[in-house]
Structure 1
Amino acid sequence: MTLDDTTSLEAIRDTEYDVEPVYVPDHEALAAVEKFEDRFLDRELSWLHFNQRVLELAADENIPLLERVRYLAIFTSNLDEFFMVRVAGLKRRIAAGLAVRAASGLMPREVLEQIWLTARDLSERQAVLFRDQIAPELANRGIELLRWEDLDVDEQKYCKKLFKERVFPVATPLAVDPAHPFPYISGLSLNLAVLLRDPQNNKQHFARVKVPPIFSRFVPLGNQRFVPLEDIMRERLQKLFSGMQVLEVHAFRVTRNEDLEVEEDDAENLLAALEKELLRRRFGPPVRLEVEETMSDSVLSLLVSELGISDQEVFRLPGPLDLRGLHGIADLPLDEFKYPAFVPTTHHRLAPVESAAPVDVFKAARRRDILLHHPYDSFATSVQRFIEQAAADPHVLAIKQTLYRAGGNSPIVDALIEAAEAGKQVLVLVEIKARFDEEANIRWARKLEQAGCHVVYGLIGLKTHCKLTMVVRDEPDGIRRYTHIGTGNYNSKTARMYEDIGLITTNEAIGEDAAHLFNNLSGWSSEPRYEGLLVAPGTVRSGLIEHIHAEIAHHEAGRGGHIRLKANSLVDEAVIDALYLASQAGVRVELLIRGICALRPGVPGLSELITVRSILGRFLEHSRVTWFANGGDPIVYIGSADMMHRNLDRRVEVLVRIPRPTAGTETDNIADLTAFLDTAFDEATDAWILDDEGNWLRNGGETDLQAYLIERQRRRRRSGN
């Protein structure tokens, strides 16, 4: 079953959400766009440029030192996932003979070659940045990341004792000879390649020793001095190879294809099929080999041969490898080297006034829609409280919710279990195919089922990515639906680090749409018409493009034209071409794209009125907002969908149109979102700007958007508004 793809904005026009007649482009207008054959940037290379911006944050001396250390760790994790998924996918398509030219005009082999060059350059820059700038600056502030030769006598004695008592019992040397085949090297593990000589016959042997991941990556020595665990092991390897002579020891690390492939149509039980595939993930083929630059050619040749990879996939880097371990250094309790402390505050509509008792979220939502902006507005005292109050409220009859990444020890899941145990109808759609969260989501699914929740896994062939909760409550004037739709996951931990927007509303049209969508996801219903929502696959792409065309019509009618889009990624060719059309027609287009952008701005005759910027900072910019000037009466959507093929065609996504304020309403949520975008797109706001060649240059703006929003939240708290 799939969502019906015939829905149009006609349903929306029949409601309070009136739009102007739609501009329909003719073939000549489309041809004026399509003649620019090089109008798309490559998505993979654009992603690498995003990670380059992360690396630039690590190099930014205006950012607190331990935050720069964390950006180095984030850069490593980002690049790991890119190779595990995107590079692995390219290699898989080439091997399968499915090498189709990308929209950028590049063949997969050409993309791979550019990836190898760019990723190697970025990896080398990261290593040099750590060695020549970050490590010395840490040392200047009393945080020393040392190598073995830098340790004093007492520290070396401590490390030798640590190895003997803790590491030696765990470490497992694996020899390679005719009786011992080359061992399996697990993905992202840190390993030591050891070359040995037998003094009795002078023969050389190879062995591999895995650095145990159960110990701290950087071993604390006291007084904020640390040494890499592999340095301790390297120095004491003789204890593992008694009677042998250790000739060479080099660290190395393998990245493997860890993307999952589950043929749902052939899987009678999706949970069982996914659990089986998770086991297979551990044995995916290698896609990258990182080695210390000191590794000899003979040892490297052995690794390349045994792992079956090409020379292009080898990254020679200054040690230490695997800087994900720097998260441990960034977590040190040294507030003077971190961003100033920030504690999210309760949304002013949900903040208690005269008593310490929590505000009744249902009562507050009945008065007016509540627009939430996380992490500035506390997730715990808004969305989490909404679900917890629903679980405990005897008047609540049912709770229906989607879960994509719930995280560990989830209070949301606990509340849903409490509601089911209290006899409420609880439907939970758990997306167990959320990449790298599959195992956690399987555990949640089983726990929810055991508590009596109705757990479903969505539609075959589609990931359910939308962030949607509906609470059905029995009230004196009848049944009322309370709906929350957001841009971020129901995850209390990431809600403190991700920037997201959500809406809690009693709007009847939105509640009705949510009910139809949940019936579609859990049963055999298929609602082709939604009044307040755009739903993918089906109407997100077509709906937004229709609004873009309507904006062209406004401009041609003399009412001006202006489009703003904030997203994680912009890749979809149809949406991009529609934005090009708008620019050619004279409509101003402003794009705020955190990650991948395949659109070329500023191209004469094509995109002269389009600007693209990217903002990165202490919080992950994660919200998706689409804003249309609409002749002076703005239309705004928020939701879960990025402008990518997978979101628009292979996922269940939801965008909600922010309702206009009703008469007598004090708060205008559309105006609030407009003001937020005004600041984000202000030329004085610090951002990276994309040029027509795909290069990102920082503008040096004086306003830090996130710092500004933190201060605005503090002012609101002080004033009580």
Structure 2
Amino acid sequence: MISADFLNSPLPEPQELPGADLAGPGRFVNRELSWLGFNWRVLEEAENTRVPLLERLRFLSISATNLDEFYTVRVAGLRELKREGQTNPAADGLTPAEQLVLIDEDARNLMHRQQEILSNLTQEMREADIFVLTKDELTEADRQHLAEVFLYKVFPVLSPLAIDPAHPFPFIPNMGFSFALMLERRRDGRSLQALLPIPQQIDRFIPLPSTGDTRRFLPLEELLLLNIDQLFPGYRTIGSCTFRVLRDSDLEVEEEAEDLVREFETALKRRRRGEVVRMKISANSPDSLKKVIMRELHVSPEEVIEVDGLIGISDLSELVIDSRPDLLWPTFTPRVPERVQDHGGDMFDAIRQKDMLLHHPYETFNMVVRFLEQAAQDPDVVAIKQTLYRTSKNSPIVKALCDAAEDGKSVTALVELKARFDEAANIHQSRRLERSGAHVVYGFVDWKTHAKISTVVRREGDSLVTYTHYGTGNYHPITARIYTDLSFFTCDAKLGRDATKVFNYLSGYAQPESLENLKISPHRMKDFLLEQFEAEADHARAGRPAQIWAKMNSLIEPDVIDGLYRASQAGVKIDLVIRGICGIRPGVRGLSENIRVKSIVGRFLEHSRIVCFGNGQGLPSRGSRVFISSADWMGRNLNRRVETLVETTNPTVKDQIVRQIMAANLADQAQSWIMQPDGHFTRAELPEGAFAFNCHRFFMENPSLSGRGSAGAADVPVLTHEEE
């Protein structure tokens, strides 16, 4: 059973925030600084000795990838606002210029810490027989092997370039990594500046022959230094540096674009050529080279970061090697729900028995794929409708939809072209679907469609039955291995009608007027949430139990935060699990005394969105109202995207969400960070010498309630509470 101790734990003593304007902008935490705080938590997992060594290296790489995206989108946007002279403050009162100053300071500290951690991890890796060498550490046998590697795998794709008036400075793409050189001709001492752009198709770390468990690698830049004579015959190197650029990667699309696909294809080319927003360059690089690079790339000094260490820390993911399982998380195989096995793998039979909620990655995402593959092959299925926000390159879901269309079924696919960094993949998928005969629509030009819905209409006897899938995450089989998400399957007629109305809205712009179990943004969801906050406040004022539990990735929408503050002040006990950005201030006297916030950062990426209301009976209780959603509580999700909020009424599904998923998240100690009133997070205090509950381990070891099947759910651990 899951301990109910967290339910009975007293709220921390509320704190004062001297000088903060809690009636004004001071009641909010800045979005960008909160995001940086999340990335600090990711980075600190790279120092967590309870995490296997190569997984710590992976966390370091992820922190760098996250920071790159933050710069190419968020920082790029703030720079543009500053350039245009915008001084309108964010909700927390900071102008774009003020935010950029604070971001720069915090991000530079974070990048410096990344290098320190890398140095420590490199030493630990050496102790574990994984070596990242320099050219000076190579043996003669290594050099002979690398000569072959360079000649056949590297040299053919390199384009060494002189930098002079006859050779214009080349375009360096976003995330482009380059080698710059100062050379001297041996026969007459004539100097030459040169550039060596490094194609992203070449591995950054070259494996060397190894024996046993030993693994050895050489960074690509070291290999290039070994072979300068072949790239620039007759020259000697007198100075060199490496540099990497990040460019503005946000997309702008003309609202009146006649052909949305063509407009996005053009916009993707513009992204590649966006302005440089950050350049990292080797510390102690030759001054003349640095000046040339900055001038040609139009980079100002404040956009330059000198790195005494490895440039491109995100590339360290190449060193997380499967051949050393002793340094990785123990292997985990997702479960097939027992109820699906009871029905011989037939998804429709399993769903028809009763509603089913799968918790990924603990239950395999293959069940979602099977649902659509079975629909494609079933002669009784007449129609399939599907939203696609992100999916894999060779998506089995897209293949199933194509197979269904080619078999003569009516297939409608809503493909969202505005899924950041997946636009090109989604264009490719939409072309593939169209060729198969599917009807492809793109939703709204000015709103993203972020809802995760799939419907299958099946002829059963004299009736048509709609089987519906609502998800909290994307239809992406690869990310579903590491993202925690929920898949809700039902053949409830009301939820089927609701889904059909949403699809009609997306394809025909006819706003649904009477949804039965569903709320959608941008039309009704935010108002409904605010009404539920107020309903809990009414219960508190009347002396009834009043509670809200919620879980999501981000919480920054000002109206929602103010609604939670009002509920807290009325006496509602509010527990929030917010993985990333959080703009609310918990535990502030007179403002949020009844609000607690935690963040979970661990083996899996918390991604599911859940909200539970005590409904006058407290939590957990059978009378509570329980919802899953595709939406975080952000302005973009609630005001500018099509999203879903689905109420679950099946008692077993509700118990699974409240007594298993939310209870385990709230009870977690091993991977939890607690938010302080000033916006910072501190690690949860672990019980000294005692077992620290880990929700990810709990879910890996225990089946979910609603997928339990004929074995029954009696032995499935859930939250116990004295009052139940």
Work out whether the TM-score is over 0.5: yes
- Superimposed CA distance per residue, residues 406-448 of structure 1 (whole angstroms, 9 cap, x where no aligned partner): 1121111111111111111111000122111111111110110
Distance in 2 (CA, whole Å) between partners of 1:104 and 1:213 is: 39
- Greater shift in the superposed pair: 485-494 or 520-529: 520-529
Distance in 2 (CA, whole Å) between partners of 1:43 and 1:461 is: 23
Which of 227, 245, 248 is the matching residue for 2:239?
Answer: 248
Q: Does 1:586 pair with 2:571?
A: yes
Equivalences for residues 580-659 of structure 1 within 5 A: 580-632=565-617, 633-659=623-649
1:675 positional shift: 3.0
1:684 positional shift: 3.9
Please give the secondary structure, in 2, of the residue aligned with 1:169: helix
Q: Does 1:449 pair with 2:439?
A: no
Partner of 2:324: 334
Partner of 1:230: 221
Q: Does 1:374 pair with 2:360?
A: yes
Q: Does 1:209 pair with 2:209?
A: no
Partner of 2:549: 564
Distance in 1 (CA, whole Å) between partners of 2:335 and 2:266 is: 43
Equivalences for residues 165-244 of structure 1 within 5 A: 165-198=152-185, 202-223=189-210, 224-244=215-235
1:532 positional shift: 0.7
Contact 2:43/2:114, CA 8 A, preserved across alignment: yes
Contact 1:289/1:313, CA 8 A, preserved across alignment: yes
Distance in 2 (CA, whole Å) between partners of 1:166 and 1:260 is: 35
- Greater shift in the superposed pair: 531-540 or 308-317: 308-317
- Greater shift in the superposed pair: 292-301 or 574-583: 292-301
1:472 positional shift: 1.1
Partner of 1:136: 123
Partner of 1:258: 249
Q: Does 1:695 pair with 2:685?
A: no
Distance in 2 (CA, whole Å) between partners of 1:100 and 1:492 is: 41
Which of 157, 163, 166 is the matching residue for 2:144?
Answer: 157
Partner of 1:274: 264
Which of 269, 274, 293 is the matching residue for 1:303?
Answer: 293
- C-alpha change, 1:151 and 1:719, in structure 2 (3 Å) is farther
Contact 1:348/1:720, CA 8 A, preserved across alignment: no
Gaps of 5+ in 2: 1-19, 618-622, 687-691, 714-724
> Over aligned residue pairs, what C-alpha RMSD do you find?
2.0
Distance in 2 (CA, whole Å) between partners of 1:88 and 1:532 is: 40
- Superimposed CA distance per residue, residues 238-260 of structure 1 (whole angstroms, 9 cap, x where no aligned partner): 32222233211111101111111
Q: Tell me the amino acid that sits aligned with residue 79 of structure 2.
A: K
Q: Tell me the amino acid that sits aligned with residue 101 of structure 1.
A: P
Distance in 2 (CA, whole Å) between partners of 1:466 and 1:127 is: 39
- C-alpha change, 1:452 and 1:165, in structure 2 (3 Å) is closer
Partner of 1:316: 306
Partner of 1:462: 447
Q: Tell me the amino acid that sits aligned with residue 549 of structure 2.
A: R
Distance in 2 (CA, whole Å) between partners of 1:515 and 1:468 is: 10
Partner of 1:686: 671
Please give the secondary structure, in 2, of the residue aligned with 1:191: strand
Q: Does 1:707 pair with 2:694?
A: no
Distance in 1 (CA, whole Å) between partners of 2:64 and 2:86 is: 30
Distance in 1 (CA, whole Å) between partners of 2:477 and 2:152 is: 39
Distance in 2 (CA, whole Å) between partners of 1:201 and 1:149 is: 28
Distance in 2 (CA, whole Å) between partners of 1:272 and 1:325 is: 32
Q: Does 1:503 pair with 2:506?
A: no
Partner of 1:16: none
Q: Does 1:78 pair with 2:66?
A: yes
Contact 1:41/1:597, CA 8 A, preserved across alignment: yes
Which of 42, 52, 76 is the matching residue for 2:30?
Answer: 42
Distance in 2 (CA, whole Å) between partners of 1:524 and 1:168 is: 54
1:719 positional shift: 6.2
Partner of 1:64: 52
Q: Tell me the amino acid that sits aligned with residue 323 of structure 1.
A: I
Q: Does 1:110 pair with 2:98?
A: yes
Q: Tell me the amino acid that sits aligned with residue 259 of structure 2.
A: N
Distance in 1 (CA, whole Å) between partners of 2:438 and 2:86 is: 42
1:228 positional shift: 0.2
Partner of 1:3: none
User: Please, what TM-score do these two structures have when normalized by structure 1?
Assistant: 0.91
- C-alpha change, 1:536 and 1:299, in structure 2 (3 Å) is same
- Greater shift in the superposed pair: 444-453 or 699-708: 699-708
Contact 2:142/2:209, CA 8 A, preserved across alignment: no
Gaps of 5+ in 1: 1-31, 662-666
1:553 positional shift: 0.8
1:530 positional shift: 1.5
- Superimposed CA distance per residue, residues 525-579 of structure 1 (whole angstroms, 9 cap, x where no aligned partner): 2212312111011111111111111110111121121111111100100000001
Q: Tell me the amino acid that sits aligned with residue 637 of structure 1.
A: F
Partner of 1:478: 463
Contact 2:184/2:192, CA 8 A, preserved across alignment: yes
Contact 1:481/1:508, CA 8 A, preserved across alignment: yes
Q: Tell me the amino acid that sits aligned with residue 655 of structure 1.
A: L
1:198 positional shift: 4.1
Partner of 1:407: 392
Distance in 2 (CA, whole Å) between partners of 1:236 and 1:720 is: 66
Q: Does 1:426 pair with 2:411?
A: yes
Q: Does 1:94 pair with 2:82?
A: yes
Q: Does 1:527 pair with 2:518?
A: no
- C-alpha change, 1:113 and 1:718, in structure 2 (3 Å) is farther
1:153 positional shift: 2.3
Q: Tell me the amino acid that sits aligned with residue 255 of structure 1.
A: L
1:145 positional shift: 1.0
Identity score, percent: 43
Distance in 2 (CA, whole Å) between partners of 1:227 and 1:90 is: 38
Distance in 1 (CA, whole Å) between partners of 2:155 and 2:650 is: 66
Contact 1:173/1:208, CA 8 A, preserved across alignment: yes
Q: Tell me the amino acid that sits aligned with residue 83 of structure 2.
A: A
- Greater shift in the superposed pair: 52-61 or 314-323: 314-323
Partner of 1:28: none
- Superimposed CA distance per residue, residues 667-719 of structure 1 (whole angstroms, 9 cap, x where no aligned partner): 34345433321221126453011111111111144112101111113997996
- C-alpha change, 1:273 and 1:672, in structure 2 (3 Å) is closer
Q: Tell me the amino acid that sits aligned with residue 231 of structure 2.
A: L
- Greater shift in the superposed pair: 677-686 or 438-447: 677-686
- Superimposed CA distance per residue, residues 80-127 of structure 1 (whole angstroms, 9 cap, x where no aligned partner): 111111111111122233342111111111111111111111111111
Distance in 2 (CA, whole Å) between partners of 1:540 and 1:526 is: 14
- Superimposed CA distance per residue, residues 140-179 of structure 1 (whole angstroms, 9 cap, x where no aligned partner): 1111111111222221232233223332232111111122
1:60 positional shift: 0.7
